[in-house]
Amino acid sequence: MVDPIKVYPAKPAKVYFYGTCLVDMFYPDAGIAGVELLEREGIEVLFPQNQTCCGQPAYTSGYHDEARSVARAQLDLFPGDWPIVVPSGSCGGMMRKHYPDLFKDTTDEVKAAEVAGRVWELTDFLLNVCHIKLEDLGEPTTVAMHTSCSARREMGVAEVGPKLLGQLKNVNLVEQIRPEECCGFGGTFAVRHPEISSAMVSEKVDALVDTGTRQFVTTDCGCLMNIAGYAEKNQKPVEGQHILSFLWSRTQGKGGSSHE
């Protein structure tokens, strides 16, 4: 019942990178930025080409058989003992928190629990495992941050984003009202209950706009496409990007190995 206390591993030589389907198709730059940040920390990034989706959309829709068959296809992708890093609190939460339940009483129960125990949300991993030190090379700017609900509540990383942004000396992080409130994405919720979802995202966009900043960053591509998509459609003056893209663009060209 009590969530296990997070025990961070020592910084490893390698990690598995689990890109997530949204990053794969819509936001690959965020994925590449994550890979670059890890490599700059001297970590070798393993990208299993057979990865697809964590299974969450089917899981939260109640189609657990389908979720299980997709999730099962992911379990064999990580044969080594390396941490699995995910640029999303939502997919990370699915793998870390829900895989053990999903595979309970199946032959994959042990494997699922083992994989789940190695899953880390990427910004959390950068801050608390890599102990990353960011050097800001950008012009002074202001930014707001939206931490996804799953990053905040399932992965427990609400403090991480602001700490990373706090390392950037030219970045002024502003806080919107009700920072902990959901943006209204919720996966299939956004299309099953479009009016409620839009009522939520409109208030989130207003809260961001009211800070006076023109840009926000977020831990999750679901929130990103929801908030930025609403702002764009309704011509609200705020644009978003994944926090990894932002961190990389502010600091790139510095330090460690860089890949061409």
Partner 1 sequence: MSETAEHTGHHIDVKEFHPRAQAAIHDPKIRKNFRSAMDGLMSKRKTAFEGWDLETLRDLGANVRLRALANLPDLLEQLEKKLIENGIRVHWAVDGDEACRIVRDICKARDAKTVIKGKSMVSEEMELNHYLEEQGIEALESDLGEYIVQLADETPSHIIMPAIHKNTGEISQLLHEKTGTDLSNDVEYLTASARLQLREKFMNADVGVSGVNFAVAETGTLCLVENEGNGRMTTTVPKCHIAVTGIEKVVPSMEDVSALLALLTRSATGQHITTYFNMISGPRKAEELDGPEEVHLVLVDNGRSSIYQDDELLDTLRCIRCGACMNHCPVYTRVGGHAYGTTYPGPIGKILMPHLIGLDEGRHLPSASSLCGACGEVCPVKIPIPDLLVRLRQESVDGDKLHPAKVRGHGAKRSSMEAMIWKGWAWMHASPGIYRFGTGAASKFRALQPSKAGAWTDYRTPPKLAAKTLHQRMKERGQ
Give residues 224-253 in contact with partner 1 (rule: CB under 8 A). 225-226, 229-230, 232-234
Q: Which is nearer to partner 1, 103 or 120 (CB)?
A: 103
Q: Which is nearer to partner 1, 65 or 139 (CB)?
A: 65
The CA distance from 239 to 215, in Å, is 5
Instruction: Identify the residue among 59, 82, 120, 216 touching partner 1 (CB under 8 A).
Output: 59
The CA distance from 13 to 44, in Å, is 6
Nearest one of 23, 131, 14 to 84, comparing CA atoms: 14
Q: How far is the CB of 171 from partner 1 (least distance, A)?
A: 26
Q: Helix, strand, coil shares of the chain as percentages rounded to 5?
A: 45, 10, 40
Please list every residue from 108 through 167 that binds partner 1, using CB under 8 A.
Answer: 149-150, 152-154
Please list every residue from 164 through 183 that binds partner 1, using CB under 8 A.
Answer: 178, 180-182
Q: How far is the CB of 140 from partner 1 (least distance, A)?
A: 29
Check binding of 91 to partner 1 (CB under 8 A): no
Nearest one of 29, 36, 102, 24 to 67, comparing CA atoms: 102
The CA distance from 243 to 216, in Å, is 9
Please list every residue from 184 through 213 that binds partner 1, using CB under 8 A.
Answer: 184-202
Nearest one of 89, 116, 76, 134 to 256, comparing CA atoms: 134
Check binding of 5 to partner 1 (CB under 8 A): no
Strands (E), the chain: 14-17, 44-46, 84-86, 119-121, 141-146, 171-174, 215-218, 239-242
Check binding of 13 to partner 1 (CB under 8 A): no
Q: How far is the CB of 245 from partner 1 (least distance, A)?
A: 12
Please list every residue from 27 through 46 that binds partner 1, using CB under 8 A.
Answer: 27-29, 31-32, 35, 45-46
- Interface with partner 1: number of residues (CB under 8 A): 80
